Amino acid sequence: MYQVASRRRSQPPPARFVFEALVEPHWEPVRHWLDLMEGETEPEIVRTVDPELVVWSSIWRDRPDAIIRFDIESIGNSTMLCWTLFVDDPIPSDSEVS
């Protein structure tokens, strides 16, 4: 698999809550955040290491080989979340990944 994209961003909630939101994205209907677009599907949990790692199956029907890895790092009372997208060949163009 090839790493084709990665982003890192600070999140206000503690790591525990970020982990839980990624494992159960529809658990709290008031704070629904996973809005799938046309051509996307619910991910399955491939792997977890509580509370620092969540790996999702692909959300794209046309790229079932893709996986999304979320690395969760506790920074005081907040969290640094890094997601990384991995795919097999063929590797998408930069414009497809952006």
Specify the number of domains making up the chain: 1
- The whole-angstrom separation of Cα 5 and Cα 38 is 21
- Domain CATH for 80: 3.30.530.20
- The whole-angstrom separation of Cα 98 and Cα 93 is 9
Q: Can you give the pTM of this predicted structure?
A: 0.92
Which pLDDT tens digit goes with each residue over 28-55? 777 778 999 999 999 999 999 999 999 9
Which pLDDT tens digit goes with each residue over 46-86? 999 999 999 999 999 999 999 999 999 999 989 999 999 99
Q: How far is CA 89 from CA 34, 53, 95, in A?
A: 27, 25, 16
Question: What average pLDDT does the segment 11-34 reach?
Answer: 90
Task: List the domain range (segments joined by +) for residue 89.
Answer: 2-97
